[in-house]
Amino acid sequence: MAAVVIVMVMDKAFLASCISCMGETITCIDIDECAYENGGCEHNCTNTNSSYYCSCFTGYRLYKKKFCSDIDECSEGISGCNQLCSNTLGSYTCSCHNGYELEMDNHTCIDIDECLTNNGGCDHTCVNTNGSYYCQCNYSYVLNHNRHQCDDVNECANGNNACNQKCINTIGSYYCDCYTGYHLISNQRYCIDTNECSTNNGGCQQRCYNTDGSYYCSCWSGYYWNATTNRCEDKDECSPNWSNRCEQNCHNRNGWYYCSCRPGYRLRYSYYCYNIDECQNNNGGCEQRCIDNTGSYYCDCNVTGYALDGDNHGCSRNCSTDPLVCQQVCHSQNDLLNCSCYPGYRLTDDGRTCEKIYLCSENATNCNQICTNTNNSFICSCNDGYELSSDNATCQDINECINSDCEHNCTNTDGSYTCSCYSGYSLDSDGRSCSDINECLNENGGCQQKCTNQNGSFECSCNNGYALEN
């Protein structure tokens, strides 16, 4: 009977055709070393003809022909990761920095565009960058502390504006404005003076003067500004309230004035007056002598017995120059002189003097009561209690009782009046007032028992138990 012998030769196992043993031929077959305890391999065991070998799973490396150790692909730089590499047992994983994500090959990192989702959370503009992004704000805005929201920039407060006068901040911008009397130029930033006088003369009645930021009205020469009426009114230079250059006469006109001179003067240089010597021109019209005065002249007669005529130029014989001088009125005719007197006077026998006529003492009047002489006549008047009638000579009685001050009765008399009282009253010492008479004081008023005084009367009565007789 044939026998099969398994021969183990150290690290070799093989089938051998042996020499006959015990007269029989021995047939050898391969031993599958992997079938027993995996051939001692830690991971994979691969049987081969007459042998075997160990290998490791992917991500491991064989050492000492049987054992496997993890390969750190990351530290050895064989992972192929584009950015981050994390080693694992038998493998590794790739990952990316913030702002990146893996491609389909799980190795390559590509940028994440955060702006595609909700604008990156930015209020205004989102700007993507490699691995990140940032927010930007529109003009006149600034990022606040969270770097996403935009706050308005107050250009007026921080001085970052182009206004030269007023700055008014708005949300996201600002605008310029000007003070009263200025306006913006076309750039809407710079203020320049407004010439108010260029439009409707600034509303001024006469002159308009522009100033920086304002203007004012004034008046032409010869006018003044009336602050009450806000108008230009004529300046009356000739009045005491204003001055003028006229030496003598001033004549006001609307907006101007002119000067003139008094008679005897001539105007020079529009304002000044100088004397005219009238005597140099036809002797001033005087018949005899012409005498010049400042501003005037006069005529005089230098022939004895002559005096100026009524025109003050001609000379003729005159009462005032003749030795025969009338006391009051002198009449001259053809060099003949006659005297007369004023009314109320009469010429005496000398033909020159006058004496007063006293008409009252000469009984030359028709006065009824009192006659009083005056300078040229007389006047009539009346005694108390009388008045002149319409002929201004006859006196008639005044009826004082019409407006008397008598308390009770008034009785008119010729030239006077008397007051009296009602029965039961007596006249007071002033001759006007009336007082009650107390009849009971005089013999008890004639009453037998009781007497009671009353205004203007009295009444008798009896004691108890008595009665008045009829």
53-75 pLDDT, tens per residue? 999 999 999 999 999 999 999 99
pLDDT in tens, 125-168: 999 999 999 999 998 899 999 999 999 989 898 888 889 999 99
The model's confidence at residue 5, banded by pLDDT at 50, 70 and 90, is very low
Q: pLDDT tens digits for 264-306?
A: 888 988 889 988 888 988 998 998 999 998 888 899 988 766 7
Judged against a pLDDT cut of 80, whether residue 16 lies above it is answered with no
pLDDT of residue 229: 84
Cα 253 to Cα 205, 236, 259: the distances in Å are 19, 8, 11
Distance (Å, rounded) from C-alpha 299 to C-alpha 290?
A: 5
Q: Do the domains 1-70 and 399-435 sit in the same CATH topology, yes or no?
A: yes
Q: Can you tell me the distance from the alpha carbon of 75 to that of 44, in angstroms, rounded to the nearest whole number?
A: 25
On the question of pLDDT at 399 being above 70, the answer is yes
Q: Which residues contact 147 (CB under 8 A, 6 or more apart)?
A: 134, 135
Which of 30-34, 329-333, 365-369 has the largest mean confidence?
30-34
Q: What is the pLDDT of residue 361?
A: 78
* Mean pLDDT score across all residues of the chain: 86
- What are the boundaries of each domain within the chain? 1-70, 399-435, 438-470
CATH superfamily placement of domain 1-70: Laminin (2.10.25.10)
For domain 399-435, the question of CATH label 3.30.930.10 is answered with: no
Q: Give the model confidence (pLDDT) of 219-257 as tens digits.
A: 998 898 888 888 899 888 888 888 888 988 999 888 898
pLDDT band with cut points at 50, 70 and 90 for residue 25: low
